[in-house]
Amino acid sequence: MNRVFNFSAGPSMLPLPVLEKAAAELITYGDSGMSVMEMSHRSPDYEAIIADAEKMLRELMNIPENYKVLFLQGGASTQFAAVPLNLIGRTGKADYVVSGQFSGKAFKEAQKMGYDVVCTATSKEDNFDHIPALTRDMFRPDASYVHICYNNTIYGTKYADIPDTGDIPLVADMSSCILSEPVDVSRFGVIYAGAQKNMAPAGLTIVIVREDLLDYADPKMPTMLEWKTMAENGSMYNTPPCYTIYVAKLVCEWLLSIGGLSEMKKYNEKKAAVLYNYLDSQNYYIAPVKKDSRSMMNVTFVTGDAELDKKFAKEAAAAGLKNLKGHRSVGGMRASIYNAMPSEGVDKLVAFMKEFAAANPKA
Amino acid sequence: MNRVFNFSAGPSMLPLPVLEKAAAELITYGDSGMSVMEMSHRSPDYEAIIADAEKMLRELMNIPENYKVLFLQGGASTQFAAVPLNLIGRTGKADYVVSGQFSGKAFKEAQKMGYDVVCTATSKEDNFDHIPALTRDMFRPDASYVHICYNNTIYGTKYADIPDTGDIPLVADMSSCILSEPVDVSRFGVIYAGAQKNMAPAGLTIVIVREDLLDYADPKMPTMLEWKTMAENGSMYNTPPCYTIYVAKLVCEWLLSIGGLSEMKKYNEKKAAVLYNYLDSQNYYIAPVKKDSRSMMNVTFVTGDAELDKKFAKEAAAAGLKNLKGHRSVGGMRASIYNAMPSEGVDKLVAFMKEFAAANPKA
């Protein structure tokens, strides 16, 4: 069992104690006589698992009682369509902030579906190296919602603050930062996240939605994308992704065992500081993101030489530091240091960066 | 490790060798240094897994080259919407056969979405105790497709033959019978199946679609439900349910190792015969399904006394024969004897049925 440090942007590392527990009870769960993979979703054993997952998630994120928690399928990309289908009936229009690839995809999906949506602000002209400055008066006052992506996985940016949208419900894709730090859920109308970064294996999508926003669904929309139907059926309108929810429960247990999201944040801040402090202390690597927009989860950097970047990713992988190649649309390097990345991994990465810079002087 | 016989209708039993292999390589897969749960879906290790899964599925089902195989999320219920969204553009109308609850849901979903759909035939008036007789001239000649559910999980019925729809593409929900026996894929336009019965844990949906049917999608539909987009992206338009696909691959490996679907069919026929032969040999239990419509996967029976049925399910569970209670909409008992149910489980069930009948004479 020679485990590597996996800097993948997602799916990504899971806490080792979670994997160990999953392995230990994979064939037979407790005294059930079967694997969680084999359990009827309507069985008391499984109902306890999904209820515990929701309870722990509510505790970790301090989710107010007037919010529903849904365990869905299809990833954030499915929510790009589900958001307008469920919400735009409120006023017939919606505003989007485009701060990276996925917020751009969310905007394009709503456009493609024929809705009245506008891009209120974007940092596209700066290759998404920062989060656009936002003020309340920039949004259409009769927008059904404002959509943002809270952390941009590909570019390594994140909102420093929750934008003020006044009375307009704020909808946030939190796929790559959920559970990394405490967040004031009450400031959002809807939070959604693909689970495959900080929460579980791929195949589970979390939607946290304020109850008063459940009544605007397009009556002709696919039933499986209706949040209200899922809320009324406890996420079991059909068979949920049972095993993935079980792993999410184990992750929540692990987070509670280490002290919850405020402790997780301290640990994540420490890891990110090690990397950013090193990046700021030297000239070999360039960190393209503006300092006030830096992500704590995805740290991007380049050498400025595409061949050197390639060599870096290859030699790092050989040294047990995997998946440091940047997204194909950006190039360079990206270190995704989600909750489950140990600080040891970041320390080793910085040590490797120093060695590589010394061994590969630029022309 | 005291494993029970789990007669659940889905999620349901997985082959023990599959669970053992998954457990053994859960923490670290091969020499990758990570769990399959943690792998980037774009990594060579993972790409080999999904490619193998498709290759083995094609081999097992003898899928012709002009069919695409998609690994999706959302269950058959999502396909209830995806089918008309992808296909009804062909002619603007479609025909449905309603032979149970899920085919009824598929029909209602298309109706709700505002499409011109008709129910060509149903066995509802007989409480779905048989598959309706179908002839080619019953369908509208300009229907975009004919939709059927090939095996009805809840009622325990199955088509004895593939219906003849002439040139109209036949679309079949095969959630509860896929991989149980060979099937002539070329007779179908589309086959889809939730994986959680014969294939994998819940959270994976297989769609097998003839290539010429990929060009009729509603341009305003949610992108994630577009078969063509998924086909063009090798099921990786976004992050697929990676781990569930990996388990499906292990199941396909297991099926190939025992000789493929013709061997699986022999085993399944033998198991089903043990149960049906017993049911036909006595008067204590009633098998409500007409003989020519009997399912090989889901066997339903009742005592005729709701209190006795309840007692049966409870005492069977105590004897290690779990989840024999019928669906809440039907009552009675249902033994789901999918591929992974050993013949020993069916033998023990029949022995228990005999004991129970002897110990609980009817008034």
ipTM, 2 decimals? 0.98
What is the model's pLDDT at position A33?
A: 96
Fold of the A24-257 domain: Aspartate Aminotransferase; domain 2 (3.40.640)
B37, B173, B199, B338, best to mutate vs chain A, most A CBs in 10 Å = B37
Contact B78 A80 (CB under 8 A): no
Q: Classify domain B260-359 by CATH number.
A: 3.90.1150.10
- Decide if B222 and A323 are in contact by the 8 Å CB cutoff: no
Same fold, B23-257 and B260-359: no
Q: Do residue A3 and residue B238 have CB atoms under 8 angstroms apart?
A: no
B41 to chain A: which residues are within 8 Å by CB? 11, 202
**pLDDT above 90 covers what percent of chain A?**
98
- Among A85, A86, A223, the residue to mutate for chain B (most B Cβ within 10 A): A223
Name the pLDDT band for A330 (thresholds 50, 70, 90): confident
Provide mean pLDDT across the span A115-125: 98
Whether B45 contacts B31, CB under 8 Å: no
What amino acid occupies position A262? S
Contacts of A333 (CB under 8 A, 6+ apart): A300, A301, A302, A309, A312, A313, A324, A325, A326
**CA–CA gap between residue A229 and residue B151 (Å, rounded):** 26
The neighbour count for residue B159, using CB atoms within 10 Å, is 20
List beta partners, residue B206: B71, B193
Say if CB B352 and CB B321 are below 8 A apart: yes
Which residues on chain A are in Cβ contact (under 8 Å) with B19?
26-27, 35, 37
Q: Quick one: pLDDT band at residue A331, thresholds 50, 70, 90?
A: confident
Residue A50 has a pLDDT of 98
The pair of structure tokens assigned to A185 is: 């859920």
Q: Is B227 exposed, middle or buried, given 0-12, 13-18 or 19+ CB atoms closer than 10 A? A: buried
Q: What share of chain A is helix, strand, coil (3-state, %, to 5)?
A: 40, 15, 45
Q: What is the model's pLDDT at position B1?
A: 59
Look up the CATH architecture of domain B23-257: 3-Layer(aba) Sandwich (3.40)
Q: Which of B188, B183, B190, B201 is nearest to B69 (CA)?
A: B190
Nearest to A251, CA basis, from A73, A15, A70 = A15
Strand partners, A302: A286
pTM comes to 0.98
CA distance B319 to A138: 67
Report domain extents, chain B. 23-257, 260-359
Q: By CA distance, what is B247's nearest residue in A?
A: A37
Q: Which residue of B has its CA nearest to A241?
A: B203
**Mean pLDDT value of segment A86-91:** 97
Distance of residue B282 Cα from the nearest chain A Cα, in angstroms: 30
Chain A residue numbers with beta carbons less than 8 Å from the beta carbon of B7 are none
CA distance B180 to chain A (A): 17
CB contact under 8 Å between A3 and B196, yes or no, is: no
Residue B114 has φ and ψ, to the nearest 5°, of 90, 15
Read off the pLDDT band of A1 (50, 70, 90): low
Indicate yes or no: CB of B6 within 8 angstroms of CB of A38.
yes
Task: Quote the pLDDT of residue B81.
Answer: 98
Q: What is the pLDDT of residues A22-75, one digit of tens each?
A: 999 999 999 999 999 999 999 999 999 999 999 999 999 999 999 999 999 999
Contacts of A236 (CB under 8 A, 6+ apart): A41, A42, A50
Q: Nearest-CA distance from A291 to chain B in Å?
A: 28
Residue A363: pLDDT above 80?
no
Inter-chain touch A27–B201, beta carbons under 8 Å: no
How far is residue A146's CA from residue A140's CA, in Å, rounded to a whole number?
9
Q: Which residues of chain B have pLDDT under 50?
A: none
Mean pLDDT of chain B: 97
Closest Cα in chain B to A73: B74
How far is the C-alpha of B231 from the C-alpha of B212, rounded, in Å?
12
Q: What is the pLDDT of residues B93-137, one digit of tens each?
A: 999 999 999 999 999 999 999 999 999 999 999 999 999 999 999
- Nearest chain A residue to B29, by CA: A1
